[in-house]
Amino acid sequence: MNGASSRVDATSPKATAVPTTQPDSGAPVASRGVPWRWMLAGFTVLIAAVLAGLALGPAGISPAAIGSDLLGRLPWLGLGTSMSQLDATVVWELRAPRVALGALVGAILAVAGGSYQAVFRNPLADPYLLGVAAGAGLGATAAIAYIGASTQWLPIAAFGGAVVAVIAAYALGRSVAGGRNTTSLILAGVAVAAFLSAVQTFVLQQNSESVRPVYAWLLGRLSTSGWSDVTLIAPYVIGSLIVLLAHRKVLDVLRVGDDEATSLGVSVTRVRLIVVAVATLGTAAAVSVSGLIGFVGVVIPHVVRLMAGANYRLVLPLSMLVGASFLCLADVLARTVLSPAELPIGVVTACVGAPFLAVVLRRVRGGDT
């Protein structure tokens, strides 16, 4: 095995190798700082982002009033609430579902992006790598064009299109290299995405009156009709997060390479299939209600690695917290910058994520990371 990986006794029941090789640079990188401090900081930022999402908007409501009202709703405290009925409706029926949806979508996109970067050993991989975006876009476009923009079938159609796209990409990749070559899977995803995008363009051309609603969905949005969208995707997102976080130690092993991981007793093909399938399921559920929100899955894991190091035992849980916080704050900007109008949240994430990614790429090229 290469000297870049740590020495382990493969026969020991605790033989979980913690490699020190970063997939994009090959240089030894250790976790920076104490992990619990990073997690505490992540929780603190998430709480602040949630409070900002609940408090900020056309009708400003202080975080203290929100906290007091929340405590007053706990039956065992018996404090009662002093918030007006109108403010309570704005906070708990309008803003709270958006904040919850933003936290779920941001968390799964960030964790799925980090997981994809681990299994494909590609620092630019994101949750849409194997055609999720193209499949969801085609499904949503077909639902809007042939059923109606306000149909309840839109999330189901987007979810189904995303899953079908990734199944097609994985089947194509396996037919070329038996699923063992990550390059073949990536190229298969590119091919499937290109084909589905072409079909989507054809559908739009045949239904030109549907262009506006489709573009509104493609640019991303967190506007909800209440808690229904949150409860719709929560089981898929939370289940996917649990499975991906449970594989974070194995993802550290994969950083040393397929052959070395196999020599340590890891079934690389099986792990890759599970991680890709679960990350795809969570991503498909998220985009089915939020539309296509870019840059979260590729930028947030980079931010975490720059701050805390490349150990996936810390990268994935911290990405979950940072991704949730980032999308909550991005939604605050989306609904306040042009108030009372609203920016598509995909525009906000692109404006923040694209420059940051450019800076990261320059640093990587210069050998600074």
259-315 per-position pLDDT tens digit: 787 887 888 888 888 998 899 889 988 988 888 898 899 889 988 988 888 888 899
- pLDDT at position 199: 92
pLDDT tens by residue, 162-214: 989 989 988 888 787 555 567 888 888 899 999 999 999 898 888 877 777 77
C-alpha 83: how far from its chain's center?
34
Pick the range with the lowest mean pLDDT from 117-126, 159-168, 194-203, 359-368: 359-368
DSSP state of 94: I
List phi, psi (to 5°) of 78. 65, 35
Q: Which pLDDT band holds residue 75 (cuts at 50, 70, 90)?
A: low
- pLDDT at position 77: 59
C-alpha 43: how far from its chain's center?
17
Indicate whether this model's pTM tops 0.75.
Answer: yes
Percent of the chain residues past pLDDT 70, beyond the cut:
83
Q: What is the mean pLDDT of residues 131-150?
A: 83
User: Residue 22 pLDDT more than 50?
Assistant: no
Burial-class residue 106 by CB neighbours within 10 Å (0-12, 13-18, 19+): buried
Compute CA distances 6 → 12, 13, 305, whole Å.
14, 16, 19
In DSSP terms, which residues pair with 28 in a beta bridge? Answer: 21
User: Residue 320 pLDDT more than 90?
Assistant: yes
> Rounded distance, CA 92 to CA 74, Å?
14
> 35-365 maps to which CATH number?
1.10.3470.10
How high is the mean pLDDT of the chain?
80
Ordered by start, the domain boundaries in the chain are 35-365
